[in-house]
Structure 1
Amino acid sequence: MKPITLTICGWGPYRDEQPPIDFEALGSRGLFLITGATGAGKTTIFDAVTYALYGDLSGKTREKGSVRSDFAAPSTKTYVELVMEHGGKRYRIRRNPEYMRPRKRQSKNGELTKEKENAYLTMPDGSCIEGSSEVTARIRELLKVDINQFRQLSMIAQGEFTRLLTAPSSEKSKIFREIFDTKLYERLEAKLKNSSAELYRQVMEYRHRMEEEVSVFSPDEELKAEVEALVAEAGIYSERLLPFLKEKISVFLSEEKRLHSEEKKAEEEIEELAGIVKEAEQTKALMEQLAKEREKQKSLAEREPDYRQMEERLQRAGEAAAVREYELLLQNREEQRKTCEKKLQLSERELEGLLQKQEEQRTLVELAEQIAEAFDMKERCEEAERLRQEKETALREKKQEFGALQVRYEKAEKEAEASIHDYENAERRYRHGIAGILAQDLKEGEPCPVCGALSHPCRQEREQGVPTEEELKEKKLLSEKKRQELLKIHGETRACREARDLLDREAEKSRRMQQELTEKMQELPAEIREYPDFHERSDFEKQRKEAEEICLRISEKKKTKEALRQERQVLLEKEGLARGNFRDELQKAGFIGKEEYRAAFLPEQKRKEEQEAVRDYRQRCYAKEHLIHHLEEELKVREQRNPAEEQQKLAEIRKKKDSLTEAGSCLWKNRNETEKLYHSLKEKKEKSTALSEKYGIIKDLDDAVNGNNKKRLVLEQYVLAAYFEEILKAANLRLAMMSGGRYTLYRTKEVTDGRSKDSLDMEVLDYYTGRYRSVKTLSGGETFKVSLSLALGMSDVVQAYSGGIQVDALFIDEGFGSLDQESLEQACQTLMSLAESDRMIGIISHVPLLSEKIENQIQVKKTSTGSTYQLVVF
């Protein structure tokens, strides 16, 4: 990163927006000095650069919340704007801290509001990133360093020269890890450690599982004892265990084959005997069933007379069922006729009721139009009364308002006259006393503003009570204000009077309209005029509508009555015809009368039940006869055997078979358990062996990179130590020049406990004494030279090894005051040689010798109203 321009506004001691600092004018490569009095704001320039980049200041002793200039006006903004070049491209950053500013809308009390912290980053392509945290993240990604690393590499702030020099190894490791991106080695160490631990856990898990499986092995007691004895003698990983189990499996298979052959032979005998027993039992059951069926057949034969009588009854009931249809038709005709007569009677009663209602409403129908007109006139009278009351109420309110306005007008008129009179008197006194006012400022030797004379022998004295010009202006403004208020009240009073007169006319018009409607209402007949007083208009409309509906319903009812009379006559004729048909069917069926017919008649459900009973009886008789014949034929071909004897033989052979099955089950269990144990142990042993081999390799790597080696050296620490050695080599090139060849920096390789683990601590070789000593024993000036050499060496190495990190500019704040003249000469030569390598170096110092040696300068001047700066370029 190389700064191009820097603009500061309302920042620290700088009150207003300062002209941009043109770093290119100071030389794109070279050395420049920032000089000025203590507290003038030299370090503020470095703070502004750091804040623009990272939103924080260059030193840790200052806080970004205090950067708002105490000299700045409330309306002045506080911000910094940095244009920088990085990787051949230019970027513009504008950033402001949080501070209090006046509200954008005018406030009577001059209230302030908080301006939130914000930042804008304009990219080389013109795109813009907004937001303080977003811009900081993008800058960190772009420069490949955070603010702490930036302070170490580019911005060596006041009071922080020795931070890297005296920092412990852990802090240096953290800094170098970020700079040189050695997290890869740290991740590799962690991954190897985790992989080694995981493989060891898996190996041990397989071993525990093998031991557990042997412990839960559950064959018969004899085999279990043999396995336990073998494990106890040779161990779980013995080469004898798996062959032993395999041999046992083979023995079990051979024995199982023999038992299976004998069991199959027994099953065949069981199957044969089971057939004989089954046939004997079936023959016995058939003989018993034949005897039972013959008894049932005899019982059915005894019920034959009853079912014959039932068949005769069903035949007569069928003839009665044929006559039943004609009886039902006659009953239907009678019901239809009776229903029609009921409807006719109901229609006649409804017609009489409607005719009576029509007679009661005859007067309402004849006078309906006149009554409706009376309702209209009454509603208009009520509306006129309502309007009259509203107008009169509004008129009273407007009269009260007019009276109040008259009082206000009289008061305002008096106040305006008094104010105008007061102003005119004051103006008159001011004109008369103007000479005295002018005379009091006259001085001898100065020209008179009226006559131009330089001598003033007869100056007029100022009269008492003469108003000043400001007082006269105030009285004039007050009189004008009172006059405007009087005009406003006059307009309001006139508008109120016109509204009052309009309401008076409208109220009178409403009264006349109400009077005219009342007179017209009195001209109507009494029965019409009084109707609206006793009825609602809705009731009237409802009654009129009901009267119209009654007329329509009377017409409909007359038509319905006539239709019912005709229907009754037709139904009477149909009823007579149905009665004749019923008598004829009774005679055809041979029934003497209705009593005999009804006695023979059976309901349909009863008739179906008896028909079903007869049919079921005949089917059972046939089925019994057929079944008995079948059983007799079946028994003729069957051999007679004793089932009990055959069952005894079957039980004996089954007992033998069960014994064989039990022995086979025991063998199968032993073989199955042994096979499971054999295959499981074999699989786990193979996997455990493979994992053990892999664990051996990974464990060796883990030991190598995590310090479990002869040197007890961690891989990342080894890499960091290598980088640190390079930094010290680069630093010693500068330190040799600045110390006159007296000092050389070395990395400390022995720690306090005597172990050979590498560290990032430093010691210095003093060639004057030939001894190594701690860097903490150096004097102030020596510490500055060593720290500066270390910072420059780190900058060189970072650029050499980290392709994305470019240290194009280095800023050094103070520290030179601790150097003697010779050391100062050496430091300047070192920095000048460094500046010649395309690098910009800025120094803050008030040492006079530096001002003489460094021509390009930013000179900061401190005043009582804030600081300013100017560029001095040669």
Structure 2
Amino acid sequence: MKALTLTMAAFGPYRHKQIVDFTTLGEESIFLITGPTGAGKTTIFDAMCFALYGRASGSDRDQDSMRSHFADPGEPTYVEFTFELRGKTYRIVRMPKQMKRKERGEGWKEDPARADFYIIQGEEEKLVASKIKEVNEYIEEILGLDYEQFRKMIMIPQGEFRKLISENSKEREEILQRIFKTEFFAEVTDYFKKQSKELQTEINQFEWKISQEKERIVWGEEADADLENEELSKVRKRLNQRIDHQKQMVSDEKAYADQLQQTTDHIQNQYFESKQLLDLFEERDRLSIEHKKLEENSAAIKDLENEHAYAKKAAEVRPYEKQYEERQRELDQLLLNQKDREETYNRVKSAFDKIQEEYVKKADQQEDRDRMKEAWQQKLREKEHVEEFLKKNQGLENLEREIANNRRSFSDFQEKEQKILQDKKWMKEKVKGERSLREAAYEKKQSYQTSQQRKERVERLSEEWLQLTKLRTQYQSVSKNYQEKKQRLQKFKESYEKALDDIRKHHAYTLSLHLNDGSPCPVCGSTEHPDVAGKPEGVLNEDQVEQLRERHKEAEHYFEKAQDELIQVKSDGEAQRQLTESIWNDLDIEHELSEEMIEKERQHCSHEMRKVLEEYNKLKEKIEDIQSTEKKLDEMDQQLEFLQNQKETLQRTINDQQQDQTKRRTELESLKENVTSTSVDPEELVKEAASFEKSYKEAEENWIEIQSLYQQKRDEWQKILTAVEEGKNYLEQAQKAAEQRKTEFDQTLVQFSFDSIEAYRSAIRTPQIMEQMTNEIQQYKQRVQVVNERLQELNQKLEEKERPQLQAVHEKLEKMQGKLNEQREMVNHLNVSLQQNESIQENIRRLVEEQGELAAKYYDIAELAQIANGDNHLRLSLERYVLASYLDEILIQANLRLDQMTDHRYQLIRSDAIAKRGAQSGLDLEVIDHHTGQQRSVRTLSGGEGFKTSLSLALGMADVVQAHAGGVQLDTLFIDEGFGTLDDLSLEQAIGCLRSLQDGNRMLGIISHVQQLKEEIPAKLQIDAGPEGSKVEFVFQ
């Protein structure tokens, strides 16, 4: 990755938009970032790291502190970063969570964090991702580094140099694994381990399955009590003999069962023939009894036939009777209806005569009703004239009052205008001294911010001093814990190595169980096996060994952790001391560093801040008072403009009202001519008009009601008169029809031989009863015929035959069937036992064959799993072996620069001492000191030595990664401080080493206060602090 441009807005100390164009460096691959403390040098790294990962570069910075304190509330905070990677150009824009103004209404709302990622192709820009999660995943994918790895390889923030070389073996493994993508080797190791365990489990399962099959063998009474403890080959031989014996037994018992079946079939045929003959005898007996009953019912059937014949005649006469009855019912109903109509006619005629008399009387009163209507309308006209006069008179009085009010308001506006003009004059004199006060307040604010920054550095110094004290105490505790963990690790190591040796012997014994003379050994290939491995005593199973291994690894882990903690605490203490002294030196205090001097400096800063703040607040109050006065002057101008507008509006209103007053007075004079008296109360006129209206409307409504009622009664009378005349005609016709139907009915009775109507009615039957009678007669005749024919047939069949004795034959058949069933159950039982033993025989053969194949395969896989997992004489896993080779290449490149920077004194090597302690090692680093010839841990290096070592390692790692083209391209490296720990010679050597990087087109940014670097490096990124935030630009010597 090579940085091209970086844009920051309202970010950290940068209020205004700042653009850092790295392309202006040209051939200058190394540049120095310089500026006063707190100006924002490290913020350049923070912005770049925030743009890529949404987090700052240092471990003590968070996202919430990124927004500039100089920025106004409405200014957005964002970072834009453009970089080049593997020939492609990318641009990323990221904004942290911040507050912004509401689009509608007043107030603020939270604007969530956002990120946009683009790829630039020529002049076109394509959006790749716009969600934070997608952008983060895409960045990690193309860079090949996550946030932590990026910090450690490309950006080395302030105070974190030693972490690059002091990471323990496990953490360094994770970095190298991600860079060189060696996860495949770990997967291979896990695969072998998993396969080994699965094969061992399968072999144990086969042994268990074989033992289960042995227990299921059906031996019979001749089986020995201790047969299950015999060898498998003997059990299989005995099983073969048992199956042959079972087959012979099944054959003999099945032949006897066939003989019993033939005898049973013969007896069963005899039983069926006797049963059929007995059924015929019983049927003849039943039919004889039924024939006798049929002869006894013959007389009753004859009577039923006569009754059925008369019922048929009555059914033919019935239609004539029904016609006569219908005509008679119609005649009776007409008589009743005619009687009702005549009664209604008399009642309606009487009512009509009465209402006709009232109608004639009301018609003669029409002239009285007309006079009442005229009087009512006259009163209404008088009321309207009086009301109009009074309404216009009241309107004139209201108008005159409004004119008087408006004239008083006009005078009030004139008085207010004069008072505001007087106040405005003296306020203008008051605001003339504002500018000088603002300049003095700004100076005080700058002085306060300077004191505040110094106090913050003192507070940080106090925190770092406290941390240094804690680290010194912690070192004593950690050192004791380290000795305890070392003794515990040695104990578990001895137990685990003994368990591994025992389990190898057990594997050899397991394989020997499946060796046969003449068959080759899967290990050595020999067909002769004179000395097979014996069964070892006290061997732990796989789970127990795994538990022991886990306990050993756990002890090893805690030992390494204690060792790392000891070295880390020591290293942290040294780094903490250097950091504390660096902050103390920056404060430029002549006295020696101590807790007492830190507290004294803190109190001094607080006193200065309070003093300056009091002076600033006084000036601020005066400025605020002047600002308030200026605001009041603006308000006065607005009030004067308002008063002038109001006066003009009132004057126009008064003129319009005076013209309206004259017009209304003229109208009132005209209305007086139509009013008899202006003193008449309109309410009295309303009451009189209402009285006349009520009398007229009551008379009119009564007349309309009489007219409607007269017409209604007249219509009713005419309608009922017509109905009475029509009823008389219908009644005459109905009487004639009833007499005719009566004559026809009487003639039909005589025709069908009924002496009287009573005889006819007694012969009547319902259709259901007629149908029942017919069915009963037919069924009787049919049954007589069937019984006679079947009796004749049975007498012929049973002639000269005797009734059989069925019980004796049945008892003989049941006895033989019971014996046959017992024999069949025996045969079935023998067959089940035989089939079970044959199935067991085949299962044992198959299981033994498959177990042998698995045992040979397990021997190879288990050996590979142990080697790949680190259970070897090197205690080095397959993946760590590969990573170690990469690390060796990195160390070769790193030592080229370390040799130059340390004047041939130090050389980095990979430690083999730690590798002997277990699987979590193999990647630890040590240095060879060629001045003493001693080999020691990198954590023992001093601050300056550690800085040069970490710088060499970072540069060497970048060279190797790019050489292998592992998907990670490291064209950029940033270093924040650290050069201050070098002496003059070391600094010269480091500068010379860094200059050699220009040949590889790699960009290196350095932040440092060292004067020699400022003189040696021509390209500088200059950062200047100001009252409105910092500014940044490239400067070239």
What is the TM-score normalised by the length of structure 1? 0.79
Instruction: Decide whether aligned partners of structure 1 residues 476 and 645 sit closer, same or farther in structure 2, where only a CA change above 3 A counts.
Output: closer
Q: Name 1:2's counterpart in structure 2.
A: 2
Q: Which amino acid aligns with 2:64?
A: G
Q: Name 2:314's counterpart in structure 1.
A: 320
**CA drift at 1:787:** 0.4
**CA drift at 1:545:** 10
Equivalent-residue separation in structure 1 for 2:1013 and 2:86 (angstroms): 31
Query: Residue 836 of structure 1 aligns to a residue in which SS?
Result: helix
Worse-matched range after superposition: 806-815 or 90-99: 90-99
**CA drift at 1:812:** 1.3
Match of 2:324 among 297, 320, 330: 330
Q: Which amino acid aligns with 1:273?
A: I
- Structure 1: gaps of 5 or more residues: 438-467, 533-539
Q: Name 1:232's counterpart in structure 2.
A: 229
Equivalent-residue separation in structure 2 for 1:167 and 1:133 (angstroms): 29
Equivalent-residue separation in structure 2 for 1:849 and 1:122 (angstroms): 40
Taking the TM superposition and a 5 Å limit, the aligned residue runs for 1:78-117 are: 78-100=77-99, 114-117=110-113
Q: Which amino acid aligns with 2:759?
A: E
Q: Which amino acid aligns with 1:843?
A: I
Q: Name 1:446's counterpart in structure 2.
A: none
Confirm whether residue 270 of structure 1 aligns to residue 235 of structure 2: no
Superposed CA offset, 1:421-463 (max 9, x none): 4467789x99xx99xx9xxxxxxxxxxxxxxxxxxxxxxxxxx
Q: Name 1:176's counterpart in structure 2.
A: 176
Confirm whether residue 286 of structure 1 aligns to residue 280 of structure 2: yes
Equivalent-residue separation in structure 2 for 1:392 and 1:808 (angstroms): 103
**CA drift at 1:682:** 4.9
Q: Which amino acid aligns with 1:176?
A: L
Equivalent-residue separation in structure 1 for 2:398 and 2:914 (angstroms): 102
Match of 1:760 among 906, 923, 941: 923
**CA drift at 1:479:** 4.5
Instruction: Decide whether aligned partners of structure 1 residues 316 and 36 sit closer, same or farther in structure 2, where only a CA change above 3 A counts.
Output: closer
**CA drift at 1:592:** 1.5
Equivalent-residue separation in structure 2 for 1:723 and 1:284 (angstroms): 108
Equivalent-residue separation in structure 2 for 1:756 and 1:324 (angstroms): 121
Match of 2:875 among 712, 716, 719: 712
What fraction of aligned residue pairs are identical, expressed as a percent? 29
Superposed CA offset, 1:190-247 (max 9, x none): 3443444344444444544454455466x5xx5387397533322xxx2444565455
Q: Name 1:665's counterpart in structure 2.
A: 828
Does the CA contact (< 8 Å) of 1:179 and 1:802 recur in 2? no
Taking the TM superposition and a 5 Å limit, the aligned residue runs for 1:281-680 are: 281-342=275-336, 409=406, 412-422=409-419, 478-486=639-647, 521=693, 524=696, 526-528=698-700, 568-636=731-799, 641-680=804-843
Q: Name 1:458's counterpart in structure 2.
A: none
Does the CA contact (< 8 Å) of 2:77 and 2:96 recur in 1? yes
Q: Which amino acid aligns with 2:413?
A: A
Query: Residue 126 of structure 1 aligns to a residue in which SS?
Result: strand
Taking the TM superposition and a 5 Å limit, the aligned residue runs for 1:64-75 are: 64-75=63-74
Superposed CA offset, 1:262-312 (max 9, x none): 323322322222221232233234334423432332233233223223323
Instruction: Decide whether aligned partners of structure 1 residues 659 and 492 sit closer, same or farther in structure 2, where only a CA change above 3 A counts.
Output: farther
Worse-matched range after superposition: 839-848 or 133-142: 133-142
Does the CA contact (< 8 Å) of 1:412 and 1:485 recur in 2? no
Does the CA contact (< 8 Å) of 1:29 and 1:838 recur in 2? no
Equivalent-residue separation in structure 2 for 1:94 and 1:316 (angstroms): 117
Q: Name 1:826's counterpart in structure 2.
A: 989
Query: Residue 702 of structure 1 aligns to a residue in which SS?
Result: helix
Instruction: Decide whether aligned partners of structure 1 residues 322 and 827 sit closer, same or farther in structure 2, where only a CA change above 3 A counts.
Output: same
Q: Name 1:783's counterpart in structure 2.
A: 946
**CA drift at 1:691:** 4.9
Equivalent-residue separation in structure 2 for 1:392 and 1:281 (angstroms): 133
Equivalent-residue separation in structure 1 for 2:25 and 2:829 (angstroms): 102
Instruction: Decide whether aligned partners of structure 1 residues 198 and 638 sit closer, same or farther in structure 2, where only a CA change above 3 A counts.
Output: farther
**CA drift at 1:726:** 1.8
Taking the TM superposition and a 5 Å limit, the aligned residue runs for 1:816-855 are: 816-855=979-1018
Worse-matched range after superposition: 821-830 or 639-648: 639-648
Query: Residue 37 of structure 1 aligns to a residue in which SS?
Result: coil
Q: Name 1:154's counterpart in structure 2.
A: 154
Instruction: Decide whether aligned partners of structure 1 residues 495 and 661 sit closer, same or farther in structure 2, where only a CA change above 3 A counts.
Output: farther
Does the CA contact (< 8 Å) of 1:297 and 1:624 recur in 2? yes
Query: Residue 932 of structure 2 aligns to a residue in which SS?
Result: coil
Instruction: Decide whether aligned partners of structure 1 residues 688 and 158 sit closer, same or farther in structure 2, where only a CA change above 3 A counts.
Output: same
Equivalent-residue separation in structure 1 for 2:268 and 2:927 (angstroms): 109
Match of 1:118 among 114, 119, 135: 114
Equivalent-residue separation in structure 2 for 1:729 and 1:635 (angstroms): 126
Superposed CA offset, 1:116-168 (max 9, x none): 43333332142234354443333222222122111122111111111120011
Equivalent-residue separation in structure 2 for 1:790 and 1:397 (angstroms): 106
Query: Residue 80 of structure 1 aligns to a residue in which SS?
Result: strand
Confirm whether residue 729 of structure 1 aligns to residue 892 of structure 2: yes
Equivalent-residue separation in structure 2 for 1:713 and 1:808 (angstroms): 33
Equivalent-residue separation in structure 2 for 1:393 and 1:643 (angstroms): 135
Q: Name 2:144's counterpart in structure 1.
A: 144
**CA drift at 1:809:** 1.3
Equivalent-residue separation in structure 2 for 1:321 and 1:114 (angstroms): 103
Equivalent-residue separation in structure 2 for 1:676 and 1:555 (angstroms): 115
**CA drift at 1:763:** 0.5
Superposed CA offset, 1:611-636 (max 9, x none): 33333333332232222222212213
**CA drift at 1:843:** 1.2
Equivalent-residue separation in structure 1 for 2:842 and 2:396 (angstroms): 117
Q: Which amino acid aligns with 2:113?
A: E
Q: Which amino acid aligns with 1:800?
A: A
Instruction: Decide whether aligned partners of structure 1 residues 326 and 470 sit closer, same or farther in structure 2, where only a CA change above 3 A counts.
Output: closer
Confirm whether residue 44 of structure 1 aligns to residue 43 of structure 2: yes
Q: Which amino acid aligns with 2:938?
A: V
Instruction: Decide whether aligned partners of structure 1 residues 474 and 667 sit closer, same or farther in structure 2, where only a CA change above 3 A counts.
Output: closer
Does the CA contact (< 8 Å) of 1:29 and 1:837 recur in 2? no
Judging by fraction of residues, say which structure has more helix. Answer: 2
Q: Name 1:450's counterpart in structure 2.
A: none
Worse-matched range after superposition: 338-347 or 470-479: 470-479
Worse-matched range after superposition: 1-10 or 649-658: 649-658
Instruction: Decide whether aligned partners of structure 1 residues 829 and 479 sit closer, same or farther in structure 2, where only a CA change above 3 A counts.
Output: closer
Equivalent-residue separation in structure 1 for 2:795 and 2:72 (angstroms): 134
Instruction: Decide whether aligned partners of structure 1 residues 292 and 421 sit closer, same or farther in structure 2, where only a CA change above 3 A counts.
Output: closer
**CA drift at 1:832:** 1.2
Equivalent-residue separation in structure 2 for 1:721 and 1:869 (angstroms): 43
**CA drift at 1:817:** 1.3
Instruction: Decide whether aligned partners of structure 1 residues 100 and 526 sit closer, same or farther in structure 2, where only a CA change above 3 A counts.
Output: closer
**CA drift at 1:783:** 0.6
Match of 1:252 among 235, 246, 265: 246
Q: Which amino acid aligns with 1:528?
A: E
Does the CA contact (< 8 Å) of 1:398 and 1:496 recur in 2? no
Equivalent-residue separation in structure 2 for 1:11 and 1:588 (angstroms): 131
Query: Residue 59 of structure 2 aligns to a residue in which SS?
Result: coil
Superposed CA offset, 1:692-738 (max 9, x none): 55545543443332223443332222222222222212211211111
Instruction: Decide whether aligned partners of structure 1 residues 788 and 313 sit closer, same or farther in structure 2, where only a CA change above 3 A counts.
Output: same
Worse-matched range after superposition: 1-10 or 773-782: 1-10
Equivalent-residue separation in structure 2 for 1:624 and 1:732 (angstroms): 130
Worse-matched range after superposition: 156-165 or 304-313: 304-313
Taking the TM superposition and a 5 Å limit, the aligned residue runs for 1:784-803 are: 784-803=947-966
Superposed CA offset, 1:312-351 (max 9, x none): 3322332233222322332233234434555555666777
